[in-house]
């Protein structure tokens, strides 16, 4: 079914939108290492999946399409629906999302393939205020862990700052005894996410994504298909390529072991 009216890039009420931008990784210890590459993320309203499915013939929800979003790629497969999954996690922490929105920022499937090192759920209460952030982290071993952090209501700026001890094995070149500091500007016309990782010796690594909103339309997806045709394959290839570069630079290998549960 075709849309009855066009979706504008500045329409922040659309059920799904794209964010074009760059991912940056920088390491300061034990060696200096930095890289940046272009990516395109998807922001989707988990309560309006049927509407999102009608935005473009190039985009599908829980079905095959050149670009697609599948709920089974995220969350807990035992719970039907990602929206309910996020609401259950919020309720377990005394946060009521019954009349609010749940938005997910992630990579879409491209030609059927996706890998999401980090997906972020933006959970809003009935008042429209952001109440909870869920940082869903995946590693290349097929494992997933979520950092579920309530948002303080008395924050003075538009940037949300949170922190948590590392509890999940991600990289074989990064020690476990570290902590994360998250700095997030929630998605509007722009979105930004910065994660600073520190050990007892100080800051050692930072990762960031900054993106500009674009409407999810036939035209924008065609541009993405030709401009970033191997988006998600590129993410996985970059992970392994940068790991090899770190190994060649002599960064110590950290053996994988059972992560600490929280």
CA distance 83 to 161: 24
Q: What is the pTM of this model?
A: 0.88
pLDDT tens digits for 180-227? 999 999 999 999 999 999 988 889 889 999 999 999 999 999 999 887
Instruction: Tell whether the model's pLDDT for residue 250 goes beyond 80.
Output: no
Per-residue pLDDT at 173 = 66
Mean pLDDT of the chain: 85
Work out the burial of residue 63: count CB atoms within 10 Å of its CB; fewer than 13 is exposed, 13-18 middle, 19 or more buried: exposed
pLDDT tens digits for 109-156? 998 888 899 999 999 999 899 999 999 999 888 899 999 999 986 555
- Whether residue 229 lies inside any domain: the answer is yes
Per-residue pLDDT at 35 = 79
Per-residue pLDDT at 36 = 86
Using CA atoms, how far residue 33 sits from 43, 70, 115, 155, 181, in Å, is 30, 34, 23, 33, 20
Between residues 42 and 232, which one has the greater pLDDT? Answer: 42
Residue 167, domain extent: 16-248
- Whether residue 93 lies inside any domain: the answer is yes
Query: Computed over its alpha carbons, how large is the radius of gyration of the chain?
Result: 18
Residues 6 or more apart from 256 whose CB is under 8 A from it? Answer: 141, 169, 172
- Whether residue 51 lies inside any domain: the answer is yes
- Whether residue 118 lies inside any domain: the answer is yes
Strand intervals (E) in the chain:
16-27, 33-45, 59-61, 67-69, 102-106, 109-110, 118-124, 130-138, 144-150, 160-165, 179-185, 190-199, 202-215
The total of structural domains in the chain comes to 1
Strand intervals (E) in 79-143:
102-106, 109-110, 118-124, 130-138
Instruction: Tell whether the model's pLDDT for residue 253 goes beyond 60.
Output: yes
261: tokens are 């549960």
- Whether residue 259 lies inside any domain: the answer is no
Give percent of the chain above pLDDT 70.
79
- Whether residue 262 lies inside any domain: the answer is no
Strand intervals (E) in 151-201:
160-165, 179-185, 190-199
Give percent of the chain above pLDDT 90.
58
Instruction: Tell whether the model's pLDDT for residue 91 goes beyond 60.
Output: yes
- Whether residue 1 lies inside any domain: the answer is no
- Whether residue 79 lies inside any domain: the answer is yes
First to last CA, the chain: 45
Arithmetic mean of pLDDT, 242-260: 60
Instruction: Give the residue among 113, 111, 140, 169 at the shortest CA–CA distance from 240.
Output: 140
CA distance 121 to 87: 11
Instruction: Tell whether the model's pLDDT for residue 2 goes beyond 50.
Output: no
Q: Within 10 Å of residue 177's Cβ, how many Cβ atoms?
A: 8
- Torsion over CA: 182, 143, 203, 39 (sign): negative
């Amino acid at each position: 079914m075709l849309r009855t009216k066009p979706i504008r890039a500045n329409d922040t009420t659309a059920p799904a939108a794209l964010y074009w931008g760059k991912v940056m990784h920088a390491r300061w210890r034990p060696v200096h290492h930095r890289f940046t590459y272009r990516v395109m993320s998807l922001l989707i309203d988990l309560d309006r999946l049927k509407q999102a499915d009608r935005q473009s013939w190039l985009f599908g929800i829980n079905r095959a399409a050149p670009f697609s979003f599948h709920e089974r790629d995220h969350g807990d497969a035992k719970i039907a629906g990602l929206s309910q999954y996020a609401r259950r996690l919020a309720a377990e922490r005394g946060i009521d999302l019954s009349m609010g929105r749940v938005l997910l920022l992630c990579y879409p499937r491209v030609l059927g393939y996706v890998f999401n090192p980090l997906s972020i759920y933006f959970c809003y209460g009935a008042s429209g205020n952001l109440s909870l952030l869920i940082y869903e982290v995946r590693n290349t071993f097929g494992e997933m862990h979520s950092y579920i952090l309530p948002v303080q209501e008395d924050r003075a700026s538009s940037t949300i700052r949170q922190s948590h001890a590392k509890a999940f094995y991600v990289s074989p070149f990064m020690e476990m005894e570290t902590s994360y500091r998250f700095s997030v500007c929630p998605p509007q016309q722009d979105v930004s996410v910065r994660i600073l990782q520190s050990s007892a010796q100080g800051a050692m690594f930072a990762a960031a994504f900054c993106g500009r909103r674009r409407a999810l339309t036939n035209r924008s997806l065609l541009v993405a298909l030709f401009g970033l045709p191997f988006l998600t394959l590129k993410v996985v290839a970059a992970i392994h390529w940068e790991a090899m570069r770190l190994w060649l630079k002599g960064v110590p290998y950290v053996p994988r072991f059972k992560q600490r549960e929280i």
